């Protein structure tokens, strides 16, 4: 892969500033790990500067906003990442943009054909791809803009948990419109993450999620036939087995709102009712049938 500079046209489009409300504390699963940043260094699962993150990017006709998202990977303060792109038969310049990006950066970039069965199946196909190996994994949408410290901030939390314990990080988001202008923030959830909470509410978008290998192994076992929303599924599965979950009240990315979003920011009553209807219709029956066969780990 080449390492030439990012074109100025991309840089002009990229907004490096992330607008945050007053800093807040993060909340984690009760009894999991300290939530004040005081976890001793001896508990670190891996050296964060050497922890490799696989970015799982599902795309389809994303050329309009994709350059900004790709550039925000380059701007990450944590630089040990690879990009794995699954394309669901795009008809615009999406593939060309990814190929050009791969030639310009030194990080590994792979491109594959997706299942063409919707975004959730596309993300799950990336999860199950055995050729993708990493210490940590991060879902990514094609039309957001990551804050420069997104990966670093997530790793600072998830690496405090032993690597064999399923661990998930998610955060609030800053909302932006089609033109990248600030339009608000996603809902701030007050209560700690829990399985009981996960049954009725998804607290973090998949585009904010970073998780370890133990969590990935669990998620690989989920049958995708009835998965409608991969982020809520992720929260349910990891909380159901007693995994550690961090919810960061500080936004980690700029979440673009437009007509092609699958569900949106989950802040309106309509969006939240749609998620609940999916649950009541039994869309996650296959996940529940899978859970009894999973050994529940000891909570730290």
pLDDT of residue 26: 54
pLDDT, tens digit, for every residue of 174-185? Answer: 999 998 899 999
Rounded (10°) CA dihedral 198, 235, 124, 64: 100
Most confident of 81-85, 182-186, 264-268: 81-85
Statement: residue 74 has pLDDT above 80: yes
Q: Minimal CA–CA distance to 140: which of 70, 93, 243?
A: 70
pLDDT of residue 231: 87
pLDDT band at 162, cuts 50/70/90? very high
Within 13 Å of residue 61, how many CA atoms lie on the same side as its CB?
Answer: 5
pLDDT band at 221, cuts 50/70/90? confident
pLDDT, tens digit, for every residue of 85-140? Answer: 999 999 999 999 999 999 999 999 999 999 998 888 999 999 999 999 999 999 99
Asked whether the beta carbons of 223 and 290 are under 8 A apart, the reply is: yes
Asked whether the beta carbons of 40 and 50 are under 8 A apart, the reply is: no
244's tokens: 């550690």
């Amino acid at each position: 892969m080449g390492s030439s500079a990012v074109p100025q046209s991309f840089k002009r489009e990229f907004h490096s500033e992330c607008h945050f409300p007053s800093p807040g504390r993060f909340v984690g699963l009760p009894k999991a790990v300290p939530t004040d940043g005081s976890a001793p260094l001896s508990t670190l699962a891996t050296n964060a500067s050497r922890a490799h993150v696989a970015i799982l990017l599902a795309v389809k006709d994303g050329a309009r906003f994709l350059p900004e998202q790709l550039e925000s990977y380059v701007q990450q303060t944590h630089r040990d990442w690879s990009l794995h792109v699954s394309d669901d038969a795009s008809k615009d310049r999406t593939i060309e943009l990814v190929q050009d990006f791969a030639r310009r950066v030194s990080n590994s970039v792979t491109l594959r054909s997706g299942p063409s069965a919707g975004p959730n199946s596309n993300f799950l196909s990336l999860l199950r791809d055995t050729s993708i190996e990493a210490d940590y994994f991060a879902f990514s949408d094609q039309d957001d803009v990551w804050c420069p410290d997104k990966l670093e901030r997530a790793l600072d939390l998830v690496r405090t948990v032993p690597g064999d314990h399923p661990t998930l990080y998610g955060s609030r988001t800053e909302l932006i419109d089609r033109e990248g202008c600030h339009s608000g923030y996603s809902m701030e959830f007050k209560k700690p993450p829990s399985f009981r909470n996960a049954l009725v509410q998804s607290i973090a978008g998949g585009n904010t999620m970073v998780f370890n290998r133990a969590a990935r192994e669990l998620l690989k076992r989920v049958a995708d036939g009835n998965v409608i929303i991969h982020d809520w599924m992720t929260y349910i599965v990891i909380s159901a087995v007693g995994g550690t979950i961090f919810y960061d009240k500080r936004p980690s990315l700029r979440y673009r709102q437009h007509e092609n979003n699958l569900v949106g920011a989950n802040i309106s009553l309509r969006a939240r009712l749609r998620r609940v209807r999916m649950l009541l219709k039994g869309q996650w029956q296959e996940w529940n049938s899978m859970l009894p066969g999973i050994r529940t780990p000891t909570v730290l």
